[in-house]
Amino acid sequence: MKTCVMGDIHGAYKALVQVLKRANFDYANDTLIFLGDIADWGPDTKLCVDELLKIKHLIIILGNHDKWALDWMETGWKGDIWVTQGGQATLTAYSDGVPSTHVAFFEQALPYYIDKKNRLFVHAGFELGMPIQAQSAQTLMWDRTLFERAYDRYKHGDKTFKLTPYEAVFVGHTSTHSFSLDPVKMGDVWGMDQGAKGGGKLTLMDVDSCEFWASDLVGDLYI
């Protein structure tokens, strides 16, 4: 049994099934911690949710795009900020209706998750110096400050620094595809969004061994 982490999928179903197959992921016994943003941009949000629902041990973190999609599912809201930033693809994917299981899927998503080894999983980041429990959903879903601080030190050659009180922090939200199509360890912060939204790759990593698997370029999968 292994525990894996995955960053932003953004409707790229072909990449999702490909990377799970390449990892030989066991849907009945392995655990997947998904960092959020299954929805929007790509054409297959509905298929992605269907696939993730097959995984018995699944921990879902709420992403900002998932929150927008859930707001629409629950209230009918179709704000321009969402529709023009990938939401139209989700609306199209659900043109035949939204199954109640899919609404429940997004409703069960957590703001963050801390495992027994004191590893934090969060969509975007958090404000240093403040207890995670006190931080707003807006910060956890949107704030790139932690990633930016970690990347600034990483790009200047510092690889072993520690920014947080956690053993490790895994974030999505901010794509690494401009400098890496693999998961990136920046001190104690892991960047797990490899740009599936922008034609990069979707990756899956074993959080204990750090072995990872990657899809083909998403742009190539959807030619």
Q: DSSP character for 110? A: B
Strand partners, 65: none
Mean per-residue pLDDT over the chain, rounded: 98
Residues above pLDDT 90, as percent of the chain: 99
What is the pTM assigned to this prediction? 0.97
Question: What confidence tier does 70 reach under pLDDT thresholds 50, 70, 90?
Answer: very high
pLDDT tens digits for range 98-139: 999 999 999 999 999 999 999 999 999 999 999 999 999 999
Give pLDDT, residue 195. Answer: 98
pLDDT tens digits for range 147-180: 999 999 999 999 899 999 999 999 999 999 999 9
pLDDT tens digits for range 56-65: 999 999 999 9
Question: What confidence tier does 200 reach under pLDDT thresholds 50, 70, 90?
Answer: very high
Give pLDDT, residue 54. Answer: 98
Give pLDDT, residue 165. Answer: 97
d(C-alpha 208, C-alpha 154), whole Å: 22
Give pLDDT, residue 223. Answer: 86
CB within 8 A of 165, min separation 6: which ones?
Answer: none
Give pLDDT, residue 159. Answer: 85
Q: In what order do the strands lie in the sheet with 184-186?
A: 112-114, 119-122, 168-171, 189-191, 184-186
Residue 135 CB burial class (10 angstroms; 0-12, 13-18, ≥19)? middle
CATH topology of domain 3-115+172-182+191-221: Purple Acid Phosphatase; chain A, domain 2 (3.60.21)
Q: Are 127 and 112 in contact (CB under 8 A)?
A: no
d(C-alpha 71, C-alpha 198), whole Å: 24
